[in-house]
Structure 1
Amino acid sequence: MTPVLADSVRLTDDGVEILDRRVFPAQRVWVRCGGVEDVAKAIEDMVTQSSGPYFAALWGMVLAAREASSLGPEEARAHLERAGARLIDTRRTNNHLRKAVHAVLSHVDGQAGDALVAAALEGARAGDERYRSRSAALGRHTAELLPDKATVLTHCWADLYLVELVRAAADKELAFICTETRPYLQGARLTAETLAEMGADTTVITDGMGAAVLSSGKVDALVTAADRVTMDGHVINKIGTLGLAVAANAFGVPFHAMVQAPDRLAPTAADVPIEYRDGTEILDRPGIRGLYPAFDITPPRFVTTVVTDRGPFDPLLLADYYREVS
């Protein structure tokens, strides 16, 4: 079966519909976005998360093409480039938005009117297929690293990377432990729900329990997705990943970080903007401030393997990923 979150953004005749992950799974509410600015706002407001923003950006660019269909070729291209910049700026730590925008823009070259919309749609469909096929490869390579009947600790990890790993490891009888992942509880709501939909053995723990669980000797691997991996092996992911990676290292548990490809535009961690969200999202009381960095950076010494669509790599040897394909 295909879990709900694996298909949570859809293009319609009059807009883009996005499943509201802020209330899922308690409610299944679809937010309609009539234009590209609505899509951008939905991404910023966390209506969609994990892989969702990638697909939202793909179809948002199609809406931008529809908006520009009455313009001449140069004006239309400029409109799409402005729309792409707006979408990329919504969540700058994850580079998937940049890739989604590029997937559409690379198919648009001097068209106008219906031809422009058709070209944008072709690019979006190609980007959708490419992301899904690379995620399937990523899942297979990660499954090969895990022993039969392994217990896997996860953190804020849902959508296609997770789905494809579970599918690839169907005969291994994996069990999963999911951190809550505060403050949005993505692990308790999104990761755990997706695993349960797929029939996996699933346990939820609070974020503060991670080190204790890793020390128990009952966890075979820490496995997370990565929002971005730099060329020098730093893993950028949901806040809390660093603490789990350090604890895993201390207790001899391997940490496998899943990413389709390391980012050639990010040689070091200093090249990745870390998003800070409004502190009121975690605390809103008079006289007390909240601090909310949405992501943290795990140095390569705490990362066992970076798993890509081309297989596993030592985090210090990621340049080999691109040498192999050149």
Structure 2
Amino acid sequence: MPPPSAHPGLPTLADSVRLAEDGVHLLDRRVFPFEHRWVHARTVEEVAVAIEDMVTQSSGPYFAVLWGMVLAAREAAQDDPGTARKRLRAAGERLIATRPTNDQPRKAVAWVLASVDAGGADVAAAALAGARAGDADYRRRSREMGRAGAALLPDRGRILTHCWGDLYLIGVVEAALEVGKRVSFVCTETRPYLQGARLTAETLAEMGVETTVVTDGMPASLLRAGEIDALVTASDRITMDGHVINKVGTLQLAVAAHTFGVPFHALCHAPDPHSATGADVPIEFRDGEEVLHALGRRSASERVRGWYPAFDVTEPRFVTTVVTDRGAFRPDRVHEYWSEGTAP
């Protein structure tokens, strides 16, 4: 069994990866909300495989990487500090490679390595301190970004979203409710794992927000009919010139929103200073067999094959606003985020 939640009162997915003495416990998002099943990862390799197998997704891999690095530090605790640090760097590379499009795992690794480099001989203690700091930082930045995003929404806005941003969208919804805005959401199903129907919609319902689920093919008609006030998504990475990389399907929603005059606000803590433009971001391709199944059942003939780029790239011209923890930027000005100070 996982340890008790450190964040009681928040939606379930806001604390779905937990560290314990016996390893890392991950709520299995492949079966949520129908089952509350936890996967127990005892080693850093088991954490990496759980991420690759989609046990956790969205914000989940960030926290899984933090706690996975703690497991790696525990495993290396008997080594001399130099060897332990080398093993930790190798563990970090393995964890970053699990989801190459998203830049958050790299940030999680950086939190732990920086603490270990500054923490003296007790590598395990330093790794734990760094992971805890990275956890607190992510949650703080999500709240700040949420306030900036909520300010852009109309008082009674109907918001279309795609896939899920965990603490990203939780931060927006909490901030909107705090100032009295009565927002409602329309969630795409988000094939092939139905994250929108299962994860997004359930979490919004937990927060008491009116929520409607539509198939991935319906939003353009809703946008044309004037049923949507804003498109809001998280992002797995945003480049310095304002390209938005997010769950595949985001591009078609952004194009439709642009066509029908609906603003698209993309959420991220910060643009990635290592990615100048969309061509610099590696797009993860997953096994095409995943497209041919839904909720564990095959949904297409054995005679056909699937193709699954897990993310797509939306050009800045289709993006109205990039919302960060330092406020909102036009996509062509998002690089100014870094001119306001060093990395938080």
Aligned to 1:85: 93
* Residue number in structure 2 paired with 1:144: 151
Q: Distance in 1 between matches of 2:39 and 2:103?
A: 24
SS at 2:109 equivalent: helix
Q: Which consecutive residues of structure 2, in runs of 5 or more, have no partner in the other structure?
A: 1-8, 293-297
Alpha-carbon separation, structure 1, partners of 2:40 and 2:302: 35
The CA deviation string for residues 48-71 of structure 1, in whole angstroms up to 9 with x for no partner, is 010000000000000000000010
Q: CA deviation at 1:112?
A: 7.4
What SS does the corresponding residue of 1:109 show, helix, strand or coil?
A: helix
**1:301 matched to which residue of 2?**
317
Aligned residue among 28, 34, 41 for 2:42: 34
Residue 96 in 1 paired to residue 112 in 2?
no
Q: Does 1:120 align with 2:157?
A: no
User: For residues 286 and 159 of structure 1, what CA distance do their matches in structure 2 show?
Assistant: 35
* Misfit runs of 4+, over 3 Å: 110-113, 284-287
> Following TM superposition, by how much is the alpha carbon of 1:218 offset from its aligned partner in structure 2, in angstroms?
1.8
Decide which of 79, 90, 97 is 1:71's aligned counterpart.
Answer: 79
Among candidates 27, 48, 53, match of residue 56 of structure 2: 48
- Residue among 246, 255, 263 paired with 1:254: 263
Question: Is 1:210 matched with 2:219?
Answer: yes
1:319 matched to which residue of 2? 335
Structure 1 stretch 286-295 or stretch 298-307: which is displaced more? 286-295
Percent of matched pairs sharing the same residue: 64
Shift of 1:248: 0.1
- Whether 1:228 aligns to 2:237 is yes
Aligned to 1:157: 164
Deviations 1:170-226 (A, max 9, x none): 010101000000000000000000000000010000000011111111211000000
Give 3-state SS (helix, strand or coil) of 1:212's partner.
helix
* Residues 71 and 112, structure 1, Cα contact 8 Å, conserved in 2: no
Distance, in Å, in 1 between the alignment partners of 2:86 and 2:323 is 37
Equivalenced residue count is 325
SS at match of 1:21: coil
Paired amino acid for 2:135: D
Question: How much does 1:265 deviate?
Answer: 0.3
Partner of 1:288: 304
Partner of 1:106: 114
Q: Are 1:186 and 2:195 matched, yes or no?
A: yes
TM (norm. structure 1) is: 0.98
Is 1:132 aligned to 2:130, yes or no?
no
Q: Following the alignment from structure 1 to structure 2, what is the Cα–Cα distance between the partners of residues 137 and 111?
A: 29
- Quote the residue 2:278 is aligned against: 269
RMSD across aligned C-alpha pairs, in angstroms? Answer: 1.1
The separation in 1 between residues aligned to 2:324 and 2:120, in whole angstroms, is 37
For the residues of structure 2 that align with 1:146 and 1:286, how far apart are their CA atoms? 45
Whether the aligned pair in 1 keeps the contact of 2:165 and 2:235 (CA below 8 Å) is: no
Shift of 1:159: 1.1
Q: Say if 2:68 is the partner of 1:60.
A: yes
Flag structure 1 segments of 5+ consecutive residues without an equivalent: none
What TM-score, normalized to structure 2? 0.93
**Aligned AA (2:331):** P
Which amino acid is the alignment partner of residue 309 of structure 1? D
